[in-house]
């Protein structure tokens, strides 16, 4: 499985390299002046518009070829946390998108267009929300200071293809370090330390700006130094450090500098975040641990009271029971205790929905969620859980109506398109089913497959439904144009 993933990621590296090669060719070779330390420069290396296009293309490839997590509950938490930081960022030129990578390495990364990925292993090691937020603030700073574009401009004397290969390899290394190193070697990269945010000056700048952002957003400014210390201690005696330390060299002076910078900001007590603890518990119970071990681990944690937030440990235990198909035990925890004290908690509502569906009682889930969906019809956790419950209850038209409304403002959420496709299939509306499948393929950058699905949709459309056929033809043209635009990059 790992070998196939690495091969796919190397293909992705080639696509990124091809894109960035032509971008690098547009770098101006006439200006040999030193690069100023202002993050909004480097527009001659790559414009903001092109940066967003490349970022979107990379994200589409990563969806299909990297171990990304599609989890509305975790997505909601991470995006909310990231947004709390972004509103305090300087030079934020575009909306940021935060996503999870199912990988136990301590790593996070940023790339073109405000895309920031966080490995589940990093979340598992973080002790506080301020520590996690410090990593996000650091990566946000890399984006707002345009360190990738500045790195490209700083190397303008190098071969454009070498620069493209270098950056393409680094982007792959973000999600899979081994595949990325292979890509960089193929591109004849001379040194890992020359990559993007690996340079000392970029790291210092991201640390400085990130800690300031962290404080302005109301977190503990010591979060960065605390997390640095955790990493340094965990890997003190390891011969080969993890990807995070390779890409973000960690020294005693850097930890001391982070402590010193934190002293410049007001000291504040930040209470334990229940949402952080629930998100961490979900990652451990669903993604990090095997089912039987998760039951054993969280049972012991609850019995020994070895937790910061009791509800988080109970929630994790319920998720573990669900994975071992002990739904009655999970229901007793979720419905019998947690929801009675916090009826609107999205983590609990999501688990309760899955329990009702697993026990063949989807209408109970629909009834439970209805008042919350009415108040927040476009919340991803509520809308997608309600649509899933409606499909399970054979209320296909209701599910389709809800998903259409949700997709008006969340048109790149693949789970919504997948649920829409399922609802259309079960309702025997095959033309629309193929159209929804086409949208899923497009989100993966598989435009040829998307066009194939639309052609199937065209064949299933009724002969007298000229409007639908016209829409399908228009969408086919859009997908072909997008594929050509990507090739032109």
Residue spans of the domains in the chain: they are: 2-262, 272-359
Can 139 be counted among the known catalytic residues?
yes
pLDDT for the residue 489: 65
Angle between the N-to-C axes of helices 291-303 and 310-323, in degrees from 0 to 180, rounded to the nearest 10: 150
pLDDT for the residue 14: 37
pLDDT for the residue 38: 38
- What class has domain 272-359? mainly alpha
417 is an annotated ligand-binding site residue:
no
Beta bridge partners of 68: 101
pLDDT for the residue 257: 84
Whether residue 192 contacts residue 236, with contact meaning beta carbons closer than 8 Å, is answered with: no
pLDDT for the residue 66: 74
pLDDT for the residue 484: 87
pLDDT for the residue 61: 82
Within 10 angstroms of residue 276's Cβ, the number of other Cβ atoms is 23
Taking CA atoms, 370 is separated from 280, 353, 382, in Å, by 27, 12, 9
What region does 325 belong to: left with phi over 0, alpha with psi -120 to 50, or beta?
Answer: left
pLDDT for the residue 239: 56
pLDDT for the residue 299: 97
138 is an annotated ligand-binding site residue:
yes
Spell out, as residue ranges, where the chain has pLDDT lower than 70. Answer: 1-46, 147, 149-200, 235, 237-251, 489
Within 10 angstroms of residue 115's Cβ, the number of other Cβ atoms is 22
Q: Which residues contact 356 (CB under 8 A, 6 or more apart)?
A: 362, 364, 365, 368, 389
Which residue is catalytic, options 139, 197, 257, 350? 139
Helices (H), 127-283: 129-144, 147-154, 160-175, 177-186, 200-216, 223-234, 243-247, 252-262, 274-283
pLDDT for the residue 110: 87
Which residue is catalytic, options 207, 226, 354, 422? 207
pLDDT for the residue 292: 97
119 is an annotated ligand-binding site residue:
no
Whether residue 467 contacts residue 427, with contact meaning beta carbons closer than 8 Å, is answered with: no
Whether residue 202 contacts residue 268, with contact meaning beta carbons closer than 8 Å, is answered with: no
pLDDT for the residue 308: 93
């Amino acid at each position: 499985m790992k070998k196939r993933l690495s091969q796919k990621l190397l293909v992705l590296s080639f696509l990124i390299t091809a894109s960035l090669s032509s971008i690098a060719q547009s770098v101006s070779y006439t200006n040999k002046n030193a690069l100023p330390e202002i993050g909004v420069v480097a527009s001659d290396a790559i414009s903001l518009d092109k940066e967003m296009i490349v970022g979107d293309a990379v994200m589409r490839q990563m969806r299909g070829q990297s171990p990304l997590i599609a989890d509305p509950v975790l997505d909601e938490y991470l995006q909310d946390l990231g947004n709390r930081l972004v509103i305090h960022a300087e030079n934020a030129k575009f909306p940021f998108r935060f996503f999870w990578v199912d990988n136990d390495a301590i790593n996070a990364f940023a790339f073109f267009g405000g895309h920031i990925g966080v490995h589940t292993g990093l979340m598992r090691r973080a002790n506080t929300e301020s520590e996690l937020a410090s990593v996000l603030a650091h990566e946000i700073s890399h984006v707002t200071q345009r360190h990738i574009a500045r790195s490209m401009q700083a190397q303008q004397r190098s071969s454009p293809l070498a620069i493209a290969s270098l950056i393409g390899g680094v982007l792959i290394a973000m999600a899979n370090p081994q595949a990325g190193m292979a890509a960089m070697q193929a591109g004849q990269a001379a040194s890992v330390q020359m990559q993007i945010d690996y340079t000392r000056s970029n790291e210092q700048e991201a640390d400085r700006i990130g800690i300031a952002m962290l404080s302005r957003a109301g977190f503990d400014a010591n979060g960065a130094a605390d997390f640095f210390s955790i990493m340094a201690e965990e890997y003190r005696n390891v011969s080969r450090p993890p990807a995070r330390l390779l890409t973000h060299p960690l020294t005693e002076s850097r930890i001391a500098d982070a402590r010193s910078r934190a002293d410049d900001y007001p000291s504040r007590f930040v209470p334990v975040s229940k949402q952080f603890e629930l998100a961490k518990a979900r990652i451990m119970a669903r993604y990090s641990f095997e089912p039987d071990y998760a039951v054993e681990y969280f049972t012991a944690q609850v019995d020994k009271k070895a937790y910061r937030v009791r509800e988080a440990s109970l929630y994790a235990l319920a998720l573990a029971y669900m994975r071992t198909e002990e739904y009655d035990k999970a229901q007793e925890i979720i419905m019998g205790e947690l929801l009675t004290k916090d009826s609107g908690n999205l983590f609990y509502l999501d688990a309760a929905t899955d329990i009702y569906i697993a026990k063949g009682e989807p209408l109970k889930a629909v009834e439970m969620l209805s008042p919350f969906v009415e108040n927040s019809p476009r919340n991803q956790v509520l809308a997608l859980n309600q649509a899933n419950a409606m499909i399970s209850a054979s209320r296909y038209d209701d599910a389709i109506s809800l998903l259409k409304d949700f997709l008006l403002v969340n048109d790149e959420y693949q789970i919504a398109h997948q649920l829409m496709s399922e609802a259309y299939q079960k309702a025997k509306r095959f033309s629309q089913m193929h159209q929804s499948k086409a949208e899923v393929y497009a989100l993966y950058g598989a435009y040829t497959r998307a066009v194939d699905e639309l052609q199937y949709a065209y064949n299933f459309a009724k002969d007298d439904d000229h409007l639908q056929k016209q829409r399908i033809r228009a969408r086919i043209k859009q997908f072909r144009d997008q594929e050509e635009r990507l090739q032109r990059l």
